[in-house]
């Protein structure tokens, strides 16, 4: 039997993503994933979820994970979403064929629509790159008028927005602005908060209302020179963007996450290292 024909269960894939397999088992699944690129993409997504949680809470490696934040639960939800997205793609291809639309004949594959998280991260990074270079017009409302800033952005995003206190990390609030919805328009307008440290380095926080599915998602990623930490829950989506060294970026993102999700400074009982 070839690697392509081997039966691999979701539990085995989850164990692979978590690094809980023997060398022999891991090698077998690696060979199988070569022939199953869609599953390989799902496993890579699960691994990114684990890495994001690890970066936020590395001291909690052996603690139990609450069910709602379990990478296994998140993975199953993501797998269901991906299967649905691929079914939509298949339906679109059939409709194109029936309608006699030309131009697709030579294509070997159809790429699924970009994930909502990717679109939000792209929007956050684009806004960050644009406004961190500004001096006089970096923000619409300055930190000196914080009460108005908070009320305005909270009303427009339709979620309470309380700017995190990053004093311990060396950053002070510069102010914020309202941004239009991302180009697919699923979350309404976005709020951008900007912070600056004594060296003139800036970090921005891009906040929108929750996505329709309300799922918990976590991801660290890079977009060129910019580092971004994205998370989503049933209340908001948030992307922290900066150009700091990795360790500093993770420390800032962790503090922002804890304050915006109202979590304590030592949540070791709630998280574990993924993988």
DSSP letters for 35-79: T-HHHHHHHHHHHHHHHHHHHH-GGGTTSPPPGGG-HHHHHHHHH
DSSP 198-260: TTS-EEEEEEEEPPTT---EEEEEEETTEEEEEEE-SSEEEEEEE-S-HHHHHHHHHHHHHHH
pTM: 0.64
pLDDT value, residue 4: 58
Nearest to 250 by CA among 233, 270, 228: 228
Distance CA 142, CA 176 (A): 7
* pLDDT under 70: residue ranges of the chain: 1-5, 45-46, 48-114, 183-185, 263-275
| Residues 79-91 pLDDT 10s | 555 554 545 545 4
Distance CA 54, CA 258 (A): 14
Task: Please answer whether residues 176 and 141 qualify as being in contact, where contact means their C-beta atoms are separated by less than 8 angstroms.
Answer: yes
- And the tokens for 175? 């102010």
- And the tokens for 222? 């890079």
Domain extent listing, the chain: 1-109, 116-260
pLDDT value, residue 129: 95
- And the tokens for 74? 């998140």
pLDDT value, residue 203: 98
Beta strand 190-197 with 141-142 is: unpaired
pLDDT value, residue 10: 82
CATH topology of domain 116-260: Phosphorylase Kinase; domain 1 (3.30.200)
pLDDT value, residue 271: 31
């Amino acid at each position: 039997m070839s690697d392509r024909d081997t039966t691999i269960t979701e539990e085995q894939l989850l164990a692979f993503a978590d690094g809980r397999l023997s060398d022999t088992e891991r090698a077998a699944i690696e060979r199988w994933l070569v022939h199953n690129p869609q599953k390989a993409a799902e496993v890579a997504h699960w691994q990114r979820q684990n890495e994001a949680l690890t970066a936020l809470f590395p001291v909690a490696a052996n603690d139990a994970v609450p069910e709602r934040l379990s990478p296994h639960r998140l993975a199953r939800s993501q797998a269901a979403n991906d299967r649905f997205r691929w079914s939509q793609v298949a339906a679109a291809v059939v409709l194109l064929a029936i309608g006699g639309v030309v131009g697709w004949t030579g294509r070997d594959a159809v790429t699924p629509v970009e994930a909502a998280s990717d679109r939000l991260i792209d929007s956050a990074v684009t806004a960050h790159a644009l406004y961190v270079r500004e001096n006089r017009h970096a923000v619409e409302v300055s930190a000196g008028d914080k009460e108005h800033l908070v009320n305005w952005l909270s009303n427009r995003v339709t979620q309470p927005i309380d700017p995190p206190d990053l004093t311990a990390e060396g950053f002070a609030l510069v102010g914020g602005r309202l941004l239009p919805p991302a180009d697919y328009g699923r979350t309404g307008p976005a709020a951008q908060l900007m912070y600056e440290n004594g060296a003139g380095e800036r970090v921005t926080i891009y906040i929108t209302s929750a996505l329709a599915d309300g799922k918990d998602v976590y991801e660290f990623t890079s977009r060129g020179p910019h580092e971004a930490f994205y998370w989503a829950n049933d209340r908001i989506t948030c992307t922290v963007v900066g150009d700091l060294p990795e360790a500093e970026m993770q420390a800032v993102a962790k503090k922002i996450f804890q304050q915006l999700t109202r979590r304590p400074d030592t949540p070791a009982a709630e998280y574990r290292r993924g993988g």
